[in-house]
Chain A
Amino acid sequence: MSTPVLELSGISKTFGAVRALSEVDFQVRPGEVVALLGDNGAGKSTLVKVIAGVHPADSGGSIAWDGKPVGISAPADAQRLGIATIYQDLALCDNLDIVGNLFLGNEKLHFPGTLDEVEMESRARELLDSLSVSIPDLRVPVASLSGGQRQIIAIARSLLGQPRVVMLDEPTAALGVAQTAQVLDLIERLRDQGLGVVLISHNMADVRAVADRAVVLRLGRNAGDFPIAETSYEEIVAAITGAADNPVSRRSDRTGSSALATEDNR
């Protein structure tokens, strides 16, 4: 196994009297898709925000980047290291075109300080080609794109900073079947390019489709780290809900394995 590009150990985070994360360990290796799973309130979002630098972790734990200890206390720190985060609301400007959105805040300029649209459009075209994303006209406003295309543009934009770890918060939550497939394809291409991908999702079908490993959090603690290929759906659900006695397994006991089968073949 290669060394993890990002490794968190013993990370805790308290908000007032609430301990949102306690002693959590988490690793991402290059070329690996890690699904971060957990029920609502399990601490997934908090962990992502710790990594993204939005909420610095409490002292005590340690974060290592390429095996070297680092501190992440602000979003800029995370970006400098090469961690890109795509939140659920995507943060695109609907009135700007695709090129404008891709380079927003990072525009390429000519000599007298004017925008170099030609350079930006060529770079955008190259970037989208490298991701095998086909969008005919890069000069249409982002508002005209489908949900999947918007997600892809948001991911592509984060790649301009040459990140090595990409964190995606519920990238397929609002998407239809075909669009979900587009986004999952893109996640696989990111993995093939050697990036570490952290995928937060409630959709077990997506997780099983693209993730290599599933890290489960429960009530702010590590509740399991499973290689997806060798783990059954029930084991992961048991880890998420914290017991074998949970609504999903009770239902499967009652109805045979049919409930799980449909769930799995979705």
Chain B
Amino acid sequence: MTQQTHLSHESEDGTPEAGEARRDPRLLATAASPRGWLQALRRNLRGGELGPLPVVVGLLLIGIVFQSMNDRFLSPQNLSNLTVQIAAVGLMTTGVIMVLLLGEIDLSIGSVSGLSAAVLAVLAVNTGLPEWAAIAAAVGVGLLIGLLHGVIFAKLGVPAFVVTLAGLLGWQGVHLYLMGADGTINTSPSGAIAMLTQTYFVPFMGWAIAGIVIVLYLIAVFAVERRRRLAGLPYKPLEEVLFRAALLTVPIVGGVWVLNQYKGVPLAFLIFVGFVVVLDLVLRKTRYGRMVYAVGGNSEAARRAGINVDLIRISVFGIASTLAALGGIMLVSRNFAASVSTGSGAELMMAIAAAVIGGTSLFGGRGNAYSALLGGLVLGAITSGLLLLQMDTSVRFMITAAVLLVAVILDAVSRRGRKTHARGGA
């Protein structure tokens, strides 16, 4: 172990607590004060445990730079539009993160989102199916495609890169075939599809959702820390729990407040954040999530532990394509149309870039669902800011590339930090 200092909790504040009785003296104790947390934070940073800090700093920088160049950037209207704009690619990113956690890649998500958009438009407009049924069918198509990719990858042993590269080409072909000669199918501007991105919750609803989330978080955290204390395990002191809750509350309350200044919390953004939160809970709190991390970390070890590795792989590809299909539906909803170019532009690259910028490793087993939200916000903010400044797509691509490179370099450097601080290199 590389613990340098011998510091016991008792010597810090004099009173050994019941729960501290079995704490190992070699563990560096974190004093329950802002100074103690700062020290712990510095220790983590030096050890390569950057957490979300670089992305948050990046977001603040982006905000400051663009706001100084155009004072409409941080206006509630622009920020509200931003949250709706990132929902589509954000959902796709969430799926990409699942695949990246396995240490694999899915190149087909752009094409799948485009195909899902085409299926949606053809069913809802050309065949006159109810819009909700068309949405369900489009999602179902995504799921089936993902399961197909997963089966070919897991059961036949074809590398995921090749399977999904074939998917990238093939599903785009099906997409173009379905769109036919028209090239564009306009959807109703008032139906269920349009509602997805046109609905905003009244201020009261936004506050209610924020309040429920924060209260649930507090209840869950207090319950866990209480159980840890009763079981004699190391637990976080009350001050630290409240401090973390405050760190969560600030962006939630701030976000709802800003969004309420315009039209309220957009449904599209809520769907995106909802998927991120659910996926995060699944990954961290359920046996399924643990299996996904295990397969991504060491698939042979996972297999020997009795995990059905093939099933995990197939299900993850199913989830990724389903989320890509949802992203395609969002694209149609926002444009009131599906066209031959839906999902065939930069969406795939943006989704993968957002996942990496958010902090998910390309090497498997390391990352979390919140990468989708953070990375999506960074890329969305850059896009939105450059549009406000009336810059060309060319500039956007170059700046996005630079941000992506910085993110990957940070990841590589912090991985080196983790190695030298013996916290694992993956």
Which listed residue, B22, B300, B423, touches A140 by the CB 8 Å rule? B423
Inside 8 A of A206's CB, which chain B residues have their CB?
A: none
Judge whether A104 is part of the interface by a CB distance below 8 angstroms. yes
Tell which of A2-10, A90-98, A169-177 binds the partner. A90-98
Map CB proximity to A onto B17-36 as digits: 1 under 8 Å, 0 otherwise: 00000101111000000000
Q: Which of chain B's residues have a CB closer than 8 A to the CB of A113?
A: 286-287
Q: Would you call A61 an interface residue if the criterion is a C-beta within 8 Å of the partner chain's C-beta atoms?
A: no
Q: Which of B347-384 contact A (CB under 8 A)?
A: 364-366
Closest B residue, CB atoms, query A140: B423
Q: With A94-B297, A95-B366 as given contacts, are A107 and B3 in contact (CB-CB < 8 Å)?
A: no
With contacts A91-B300, A93-B293 known, is A118 near B224, CB below 8 A?
yes
Contacts of A93 in B (CB 8 A): 293-294, 297-298, 301-302, 365
State A56–B77 Cα separation when bound (angstroms): 70
Establish whether residues B424 and A142, one from each chain, have CB atoms under 8 Å apart when the complex forms.
yes
- Range of interface residues on B (Cβ < 8 Å): 35 or more
Contact among A125, A141, A142 for B233, CB-based, below 8 A: A125
Chain B residue at minimal CB-CB distance from A154: B301
Instruction: Write out the residue numbers on chain A whose beta carbons fall within 8 Å of the beta carbon of B290.
Output: 96, 100, 104, 107, 115
A122 contacts B233, C-beta separation under 8 Å:
yes
| Minimum C-beta distance from A7 to chain B (A) | 26
The complex places the Cα of A95 from the Cα of B287 at a distance, in Å, of 16
Q: Contact check, B297 vs A115: say whether CB atoms are below 8 A apart.
A: no
Q: Is the Cβ of B231 less than 8 Å from the Cβ of A144?
A: no
- Is B233 a contact partner of A91 (Cβ separation < 8 A)? no
Instruction: State which of A94, A104, A109, A137 has its C-beta within 8 Å of the C-beta of B27.
Output: A137
Mark B410-422 against chain A: 1 for CB-CB distance below 8 A, else 0: 0000000000011
- Which of A90, A115, A136 interacts with B1 by CB under 8 Å? A136
Complex-state Cα separation, A253 to B298, whole angstroms: 49
Task: Assess whether A60 is interfacial by the CB under 8 Å rule.
Answer: no
- Chain B residues with CB under 8 A of A136: 1, 3, 24-27
Show 26 residue pairs from A and B whose CB-CB distance is below 8 angstroms, ordered by the A residue. A89-B300, A90-B301, A91-B298, A93-B293, A93-B302, A95-B296, A95-B426, A100-B294, A104-B294, A104-B302, A104-B307, A105-B302, A105-B305, A107-B287, A113-B286, A113-B287, A119-B231, A134-B24, A135-B24, A136-B24, A136-B25, A136-B26, A141-B423, A141-B424, A142-B424, A146-B1
Query: Complex formed: what's the CA distance from A129 to B364 in Å?
Result: 32
* Min C-beta distance of A257 to chain B, whole Å: 42
Chain B residue contacts of A115, Cβ below 8 A: 285-287, 290
- Given A94-B425, A109-B287, 9 more A-B residue pairs with CB atoms under 8 Å apart are A91-B301, A92-B301, A93-B302, A95-B426, A113-B286, A115-B290, A125-B233, A143-B425, A144-B421
Nearest A residue to B426 via CB reads A95
A44 CA to B298 CA, complexed, in Å: 27
Cβ-defined partner of A125 (8 Å) among B22, B306, B426: B22
A225 proximal to B (CB < 8 A): no
Q: Are the C-beta atoms of A105 and B307 separated by less than 8 Å? A: yes
Q: Indicate whether B232 reaches chain A with its CB closer than 8 angstroms.
A: yes
Q: Which residue of A lies closest to B303 (CB)?
A: A91
User: Bound complex: CA of A90 vs CA of B305, how far in Å?
Assistant: 11
Considering only residues 59-79 of chain B, those with a C-beta below 8 Å from chain A are none
Contact partner, B305, options A106, A118, A121, Cβ 8 Å: A106
Residues of B within 8 A of A118 (CB): 224, 227-228, 231, 233
Residue of A whose beta carbon sits closest to that of B287: A107
Tell which of B233, B298, B365 has the most Cβ of chain A within 10 Å: B298
Q: Which 6 A-B pairs have the closest CB atoms?
A: A143-B424, A105-B305, A95-B365, A136-B24, A93-B297, A95-B297
B1, B25, B285, B298: the one within 8 Å of A94 (CB): B298
Contact A94 B424 (CB under 8 A): yes
State whether the Cβ of A114 lies closer than 8 Å to any Cβ in chain B: yes
Q: How far, in whole Å, are A89 and B304 apart by their CA atoms in the complex?
A: 11
A95 adjacent to B293 (CB under 8 Å): yes
Contacts of A143 in B (CB 8 A): 422-426
Which of A95, A106, A134, A137 is B424 in contact with, Cβ under 8 Å? Answer: A95
Q: Which residues of B contact A125 (CB under 8 A)?
A: 22, 233
Complex formed: what's the CA distance from A137 to B422 in Å? Answer: 13
- Give the Cβ gap from B24 to chain A, nearest Cβ, in Å: 4
Bound: A107/B302 CA distance, A: 13
Q: Is B233 a contact partner of A114 (Cβ separation < 8 A)? A: no
How close is A154's CB to chain B, nearest CB, in angstroms? 10
Min CB gap B424→A, angstroms = 3
Contact A144 B305 (CB under 8 A): no
Q: How far is the CA of A133 from the CA of B226 in the complex (A)?
A: 26
